[in-house]
Structure 1
Amino acid sequence: MNTTPSSRPGMGSLPFDGGTTFRIWLPFATQVSVSGTFNDWGRIPLASEGNGYWSADVTIAHPGDRYKYVIEGPLIQGEVWRTDPYCKSVANTEDANGAIVADTFDWGADVFQMPPWNELVIYELHVASFNVSDTAPCDFSTIIARLDYLRDLGVNAIEILPVQGFFGAYSLGYNPAFPFDIESNYGTPDDFKHFIRQAHAKGMAIILDIVLNHFGPDDLDCSMRRPDGWYENGMDGVYFYNDWRGRTAFGPRPDYGRPEVRSFLRDSAWMWLNEYHVDGLRFDSTVNIRNVYGNNNDPAHDLPDGWSLLSWINSDVDQHMPWKITIAEDLQDNSWITKKTGEGGAGFDSQWDSYFYWKIIDAVTAVADGDRDMNAVGAALAHSLGADACNRLIYINNHDQCAAINHALRLPDRIWAGHADSWVVRKRYLLAAAVLCTTPGIPMIFQGDEFLSWGSWDPHVDLDWSQLDRFPGIHAAFRDLFRLRRNHGTRTAGLTGQYVNVFHVNNTDKLIAYHRWASGGPGDDVVVVANFANRSYDSYTLPLPGAGEWTVRFNSDSAYYSPDFANHGSTATTGIGAGAVTGGLAIGPYSVLVLSQ
């Protein structure tokens, strides 16, 4: 009987040449054994390390073997069997047995260079519902089959909704039970790595959504809920707060103050960046990590340990992998989220900007033109969440804002429910898309936005790819906007720049114009004119940043995007004047022009 703790570092099941090291944290246990296929589900005792950790080197255990821990203690009646919380592969079966996983994946020549953040165009994607499968939830291989499509669309980053193990076959992913595990319906750890390598080969970064604000609630009895029998106040045990801080609307909140739990959460985040080569992390609902009730400016209920956990992870990333991006979904318009940790901030590189979202959505969904507020649109364009324009991530839709579980609809049905394919909807929809792609910040769309998907998004229902054939012009407009945003024609560098000047706001006629630039000059200066009213102009006079010819690079009223669009609008204008330079432009109803020199 082995009673000697392992001297090897690390947590979970760690293969080595002569077997596997097992280590688990169970501070209230008095006996811990490992049981698995390698010993016909017998018992091999682990040794106490004297600090709540238990470990042993087991020479007969090897990659592929299934295992569980058997735990005894004074707070347990008899014994309990638990899945390893650090396990990287958990069977999607009732017993939830873990498997020993060796990190032997051959990354080959994967030396991917993350695109500059100011050139990112992000596509938010849910694995199970993204592509069509006749028999089961879609998986990593079915996404690989669409990577060329995403590259040709102009996307250079894919934000994947959570892939950590969850209860059942279908989920949005925000009910994780095994934070180191790959959901088995999606594939194996190596399948996910293969997907990432293929995306990198096609020039696309992978940003993974992770959930640290709660776990479960399903499947926690298999692993993290009361594993060694200890709990207080009827709550969930050593991994969680056991007082008023422990409850969220989604599941129990981890105890950010326990060093062992902090390391557990940090190790999970680090694994995705290091072992899986993901290029960034999106942290779900950080406001519920830093405040018990998900509030801003509520010091009585703040969680300082949650804030310091986020700062610790971000500092680690900045120190060791500064080219990788961390993104917060905080939604409280709090610039401290994206301040550097040395300044007292949480240290995120970017955060979702709900202020931009609601101002633009309000403008395009108002029924009457007179109710569209151009001053609010201008404020959204100029809104800032930090010193860098990339400190905000902007969108006109995301998984939450169209999810059936939230009783929400995609933007076309928000504009006019039941008439999502109408001229009015398509015009205002492209108006919003063009504003998105020409505003400072990192633009993101959700799967299907590029071909006018409507209704609600349900993770059980495959994306309707027939919409791509029905609305090829909408798809072409998104592709053209993404190319301009990334300066593919070398004439719109200003769209990657830091600066915006909203120089014309006509709240009477519902027209707004703004100047984007990085360093200024021909090929850099960009002028965007957006008409939020159902009327056209043959010559609307506007100030321009400089004299000379300004060429229209994009016109959302082009018949190329839909045969019932009027093709109204200038192809160019000339800025004239010795002092203040002006030019006249034709523009169609509910339309956007993008011009540069």
Structure 2
Amino acid sequence: MNRLHNMPFGAEPTGQGGARVRLWAPAASRVVLVRSGEGPDLGSFPMHVQDGGWFELELPRTQVRTDYAFSIDGGVVVPDPASRSNRNGVHGPSTLVDPSAFAWTDDAWRGRPWHEAVIYELHLGCFTPEGTFAAAIERLDALVALGVTAIELMPVAEFAGRHGWGYDGVLPFAPKAAYGTPDDLRRLVCAAHQRGLMVLLDVVYNHFGPDGNHLNAYAPGFFNPEVATPWGAAINLDGPGSRVVRDFFIHNALYWIEEFHLDGLRIDAVHAMHDTGSPHFIDELVGAVRAGPGRERHVHLVLENDLNDASRLGRDAAGAPRLADAQWNDDVHHAVHVMATGETDGYYIDYAGEPVRLFGRALAEGFAFQGDPSPYRGGEVRGTPSAHLSPLAFVNSLQTHDQVGNRAFGERIATLAAQADRSDALRAMLACVLLAPSVPMLFMGEEWAASTPFLYFCDYQGELAQAVTNGRRAEFGRFARFNEPSARDAIPDPNAESTFAKSKLDWQERDRTPHADWLALYSDLLRRRHVHLSPWLEGSRSGVMTLDASGTLRITWPLASGHRWHLLAQLASHASPAGMDIELPGSVVYRSHPVAARLAPWSVQFAIEAP
């Protein structure tokens, strides 16, 4: 099976022993391709000027794994922005690779339908001690046994330094060399598909990282200096020259899906994309994926959008997504966090007053904030209506890389709940999230309540490194516990090797108490989901919620073929009142506590009702 995504830029073999190389450099007058490495015909080759700021060169003879770079106007030498491999880092030359040479073993794979999704988000560098694509393969069987059906890789595109989260990538087509070769990533995908696991990739199209981005030297049209973002000038998605910029990222999406046979993408921070044109960049990207690889197999697109904007989550008459499959639902996480930890700092203040109601609304209807005023935002209205949408349009979680790693000390929710003596509350809400119809997502190590933190880490040098460290610590200065400089100084340095090392999972602890008990609970809940709920999810609809003053939450969701899914939970530290009806129609699927006359504190029941 030959899997090669043809692009209007970058370098790829032509099939006759040569290679075609193209670069968009509208600000350059002269571009010279510089070849290095092994083999004949090394040296410098002037590229031919084409219309529209393009430079092109056909090399009649070249070798795969030859290194090449571009000399711009006799000055700076830069890698290929569409490099498929940059084994010497973001400032080094790119490497010519032949994607069609890989021997795929998953030709029969057509993916899995979205209603079967149980996602496991992981960071390649911290998932295993080795931190490589190859090492991750050895842990896939454990995820299958857990009940996971999809892994979601945090960004793997090449970024500066030896380690980082990946959201500051600068070469979006090149898998991070520290994780392995492009073929190592392909082997991971094959191994996952062999086990029935989908592979999703987190991609970043709203900014480039601060180190290793050379585009301003020859293609400043990639950016819109009129629009500022937290990362600098916005990506130019709607101004002069934006057609090439849009194509660059749309081809990137198609490249990962086609050339690496991925099952979908999670698109980072859609709310941070500035595009006043029509169609919006995201809509065009989704259309290209649906009209391309999405015609032949299941390909899923998930959005992150802090605005609670439901406009891209609708379904057609057949129940298929019109645009995105789903969107991360932070409302679920935030309400859980307040109940499980007692914290109400920052944006958690929005959920402090009525956490159970907001949690129930998010489970039943998608967003908790659907055009409601946000105290954290000074009363500004947040969100759009979502109760008309399928539950499958939302990805719910108890923790994510963001919500753990953006804490000063990277504590996980199980650690915080134990410190607050609220582990029973966390177990109850875990059952609610994993057995609600929306797609659940776990963050690596969550299933055994990993004691290791997940900290913010990077590997910058010089002034940039110091600026990141100082900025990270200053960011927490508005919190009371970090008022004193000595307290801020205790926050781990993102650039320290030890910060990265502390964030690696300890797989040995999953067999020890209490971690093994959490693992058993997660496995049991996901088994019940697959057996009793998943078969009826494809036709599921938004739920109807009731909540009484005692903290008793009831939700009923219509499922396929006339089935109904019922939740009854006592989300409070006291039992339900005597005499309350605590029977559920249908057959009980899960019960956290023994049958009694009253609902126990933090108790959960699910039942399915057949037509």
* TM superposition score normalised by structure 1: 0.80
SS at match of 2:148: coil
Verify the 8 A CA contact 1:362 1:372 in the aligned structure 2. no
Cα shift at 1:177: 0.9
**One-letter amino acid matched to 2:140:** L
Picking from 269, 272, 292, the partner of 2:253 is 269
Runs (5+) with no aligned partner, structure 2 = 1-5, 345-351, 367-385, 458-499
Verify the 8 A CA contact 2:580 2:598 in the aligned structure 1. no
**One-letter amino acid matched to 1:569:** P
**One-letter amino acid matched to 1:316:** A
Give matches, 1:542-581, under 5 Å. Answer: 542=581, 546=585, 550-556=586-592, 568-570=593-595
Q: How far apart, in 2, do the equivalents of 1:259 and 1:162 lie?
A: 24
Q: Deviations over 1:121-168 (max 9, x none)?
A: 1011110001123xxxx0111110000000000000111100000001
Distance 1:512 1:341, change over 3 A: closer
Cα shift at 1:518: 1.0
Distance 1:179 1:215, change over 3 A: same
Picking from 551, 557, 561, the partner of 1:516 is 557
Cα shift at 1:116: 1.9
Q: How far apart, in 2, do the equivalents of 1:288 and 1:537 lie?
A: 44
Distance 1:321 1:507, change over 3 A: farther
Q: How far apart, in 1, do the equivalents of 2:539 and 2:86 lie?
A: 45
Pair 1:484-2:484 in alignment: no
Pair 1:100-2:142 in alignment: no
Verify the 8 A CA contact 1:35 1:67 in the aligned structure 2. yes
Picking from 276, 293, 310, the partner of 1:335 is 310
Verify the 8 A CA contact 1:82 1:227 in the aligned structure 2. no
Q: How far apart, in 1, do the equivalents of 2:582 and 2:314 lie?
A: 35
Quick check: which one's helix share is greater? 2
Verify the 8 A CA contact 1:125 1:161 in the aligned structure 2. yes
SS at match of 1:332: coil
**One-letter amino acid matched to 1:14:** E
Cα shift at 1:536: 4.6
Residue matched to 1:363: 339
Give matches, 1:152-171, under 5 Å. Answer: 152-171=145-164
Residue matched to 1:36: 35
Distance 1:89 1:437, change over 3 A: same
Pair 1:220-2:213 in alignment: yes
Q: How far apart, in 1, do the equivalents of 2:518 and 2:528 lie?
A: 16
Cα shift at 1:244: 2.4
Pair 1:238-2:221 in alignment: yes
Residue matched to 1:314: 286
Cα shift at 1:30: 2.2
Q: How far apart, in 1, do the equivalents of 2:315 and 2:284 lie?
A: 11
SS at match of 2:235: coil
Q: Deviations over 1:470-524 (max 9, x none)?
A: 32121111111112222x2x4775566523544542222x221222341366xx4
**One-letter amino acid matched to 1:435:** C
Residue matched to 1:179: 172
SS at match of 2:337: helix
Q: How far apart, in 2, do the equivalents of 1:477 and 1:260 lie?
A: 50
**One-letter amino acid matched to 2:422:** V
Distance 1:526 1:45, change over 3 A: same
Q: What is the aligned-residue RMSD (CA, Å)?
A: 2.9
Verify the 8 A CA contact 2:340 2:423 in the aligned structure 1. no
Q: How far apart, in 1, do the equivalents of 2:236 and 2:543 lie?
A: 45
**Higher alpha-carbon deviation: 389-398 or 370-379:** 370-379
- Report how many residues are paired: 517
Distance 1:33 1:121, change over 3 A: same
Distance 1:139 1:20, change over 3 A: same
Q: Which structure has the bigger radius of gyration? A: 1
Pair 1:67-2:109 in alignment: no
Residue matched to 2:144: 151
Q: Deviations over 1:550-582 (max 9, x none)?
A: 5543233xxxxxxxxxxx412xxxxxxxxxxxx
Q: How far apart, in 1, do the equivalents of 2:508 and 2:211 lie?
A: 35
**One-letter amino acid matched to 1:81:** V
Residue matched to 1:285: 269
Cα shift at 1:176: 0.5
Q: What is the identity percentage for the equivalent residue pairs of Structure 1 and Structure 2?
A: 25
Cα shift at 1:367: 8.1
Residue matched to 1:534: 573
Distance 1:94 1:186, change over 3 A: closer
Distance 1:492 1:34, change over 3 A: closer
